[in-house]
Chain A
Amino acid sequence: MEQQYEHYYVPEQSRLPIFASLSLFLTVTSLGSWLNNIKADESGGTSASVFVLSLFFFMAVLYVWFSQVVDENRRGMNSAQLKRSYVWGMGWFIFSEVMFFAAFFGALWYIRNVALVELSEGPTSEILWNGFKSEWPLMITPDQAANGAAAVVKGPAENMSNPGISNWLGWLPFWNTSLLLTSSVTVHFAHTALKNDKKSGLFGFNSMLGLTVVLGIIFLFVQYAEYAHAYHVGLTLDSGAYGTTFFLLTGFHGLHVTLGTFMLLVQWLRSVLKGHFTHHDCFGFEAASWYWHFVDVVWVGLFIFVYLMG
């Protein structure tokens, strides 16, 4: 292939896509039957094991896929143009994630400002939900207000909201905010260090990136502690609109932190074990760090709308 201005690299045939599709299909299908079995009060049975296997299969395919991409890049097969395509790809992928979260933030906004108000003030609220008062965090569900002890959906006993600034030191979300904000700074330090080709040393790339990963992991533990506490005091997925939005927003964020931490960890391993990344060739790391910043911004949104204004 002659090159006139830039060298295109069109990969050869690949088995990866079809395996990725197959394994994705198996994963969701088995997860679906597992969930349905649970709902029908049966045990997960084979579908649970199939799910685990398929998920493993899927991750293995992704692993091979990413290794191959990394390998091609190391062998210098990727043109500057292809690298730009990766940049666009990652950028728009993150945007799609933003829209995914937007749906959940939108739901939170709507429930608080439209649904609950209507439930307590609508033309016949005394017929349908007699005695229901709109409040946030929603401690007494409409069902509870109207049907008392016979209610199916009951509100939580406690909420996780801002306990007042004087109590922040004992408040996990405050610590989580600090952790994530710090980690955004450390990942930025890692980036600058890499730009200066400073990979080792206390403020070098490896240690800064490693620190970020550690902060991410601590965050996840704290989040876990927060959930354990919530369940302990009776705030669960089924405690009405508050539990719903609280767990879904923080939960999806938590999943994204998990993914982000994993991505950073992989980059760290690549750097430490394989010596990858130089200041002009570090897309893998950059992509992971953008993702990390995104996860951080989402958290700030959560902290404000779920915790502070909750």
Chain B
Amino acid sequence: MLSNSKRSLVLSVVVGILAVMPVLASAGEWQYNMTEGVTSISKDVYDLHMLIFYICCVIGILVFGVMFVSMFLHRKSRGAVASQFHESLTLELLWTAVPAIILIAMAFPATSTLKDMYDSDDPEIDILVTGHQWKWRYDYQGTEVSFFSNLSTPSAQIDNEQEKGQHYLLEVDEPLVIPTNTKVRFLVTAADVIHSWWVPDLAVKRDAIPGYTNAAWTYVEKEGVYRGQCAELCGKDHGFMPIEVHVVSKAKYAEWLAGKAAQAAEVKAASSKTFSFDELYSGGETLYATNCAACHGGNGEGGVGPAIKGSKIATGGITDHLDMVINGSPNNPMMAAYGEQLDPVSLAKIITFQRNAFGNNMGDSVQPLDIVTYKQGQ
């Protein structure tokens, strides 16, 4: 019996080692610990993490050490005879008190870090962060600047048809930009379900709760690109709504903001411009891919949402189509009201595209002004 069990032990150890081999081989390059991050809070959190970790290690070594010694010395096969002691009030009190003291000691640094995290008062910049299925929207408070930030990894990479890039699934079309050495407050909320806005390097993670706002803040000294992901299950593409934060110098930030504001003004102006069919159609193609394809399929074949190809609405009256896209579906909240999310130019492009792509061939088109008029008419 003993030899049998020894054999099985050896067997399992071998299997175990084989499986762990790759780890040992390349342990050096692997990230296996929490990031220290780039803010004073994130560094505090990291220190706290390491502190608890070491405390647990020490306790673990003691407890498991005693166990192993006992398993080695006090085994029947070595002729150990069992003692019969089974009680000691002193010991019980001791091992109640000592952990209690350790825990109290740990509570102090934890509480002070927690206080710092909560101190989001007096920000220099306020940004409203809204989680949508499945993208983030950033509104710079007090400016006209407001945009969506979508996953930009091509679907060919996701479907393994193309080599995956370094920032696979952690890259967006329009990153959030903030300046260095500035207290930035994030007001986090959501439009549909709960999301969570998380950037590890900033140690900021806040749940985005529909109808409510949570405040978080950061103060970054180092320029750089910091990446994160949505950290609350929010449906199908929860794994595909990354966050990219570019921290730039104050000067560059001012420049960027001005550019964005100008762009916003331009879009506003463009709302009264008339576009050619081709401009609308080809612009719509890319916008469709980023905004709608997730549910309606890259080729309009449908998915979570119904097919656009041959759809009654996309091949029916324009008003119904406008209504569906601008106000969303009354029956299914997944089809959101895009009237708030996209500007009239983009909407005109997408709708024109939907009406003419995938063999829909309606031949008609929608101008930004139509959208504006429709919205005003409501």
Interface set of A (CB-CB < 8 Å, partner B): 118-119, 122-125, 127-129, 142
Q: Which of B17-25, B67-75, B207-215, B287-295 contacts A (4 or more CB under 8 A)?
A: B207-215
Bound Cα distance A124, B126 (Å): 11
A-B contact pairs, 20 of them (CB 8 A): A118-B212, A119-B211, A119-B212, A122-B212, A123-B187, A123-B213, A123-B215, A124-B128, A124-B187, A124-B189, A124-B213, A125-B213, A127-B128, A127-B213, A128-B189, A128-B211, A128-B212, A128-B213, A129-B211, A142-B211
Contacts of A124 in B (CB 8 A): 128, 187, 189, 213
Within 8 A of A (CB), among B211-239: 211-213, 215
Sort chain B's interface into a size bin.
under 10
Q: Mark B237-281, 1 if CB is under 8 A from A, else 0.
A: 000000000000000000000000000000000000000000000
Bound Cα distance A181, B80 (Å): 70
B266 to chain A, nearest CB (A): 25
A273 to chain B, nearest CB (A): 54
Bound Cα distance A176, B280 (Å): 67
Residue of A with least CB distance to B213: A124
B137 to chain A, nearest CB (A): 13
Contacts of B215 in A (CB 8 A): 123
Contacts of B189 in A (CB 8 A): 124, 128
Contacts of A142 in B (CB 8 A): 211
Bound Cα distance A118, B189 (Å): 13
Residue of A with least CB distance to B330: A152
Residue of B with least CB distance to A125: B213
Within 8 A of A (CB), among B176-217: 187, 189, 211-213, 215
Bound Cα distance A119, B215 (Å): 14
Bound Cα distance A127, B212 (Å): 10
A134 to chain B, nearest CB (A): 13
Would you list the 5 A-B pairs with minimal beta carbon distance, nearest first? A124-B213, A124-B187, A123-B215, A123-B213, A122-B213
Bound Cα distance A119, B210 (Å): 11
Known: A124-B213, A128-B189. 12 other contacts (CB 8 A): A119-B212, A122-B212, A122-B213, A124-B128, A124-B187, A124-B189, A125-B213, A127-B128, A127-B213, A128-B212, A129-B211, A142-B211
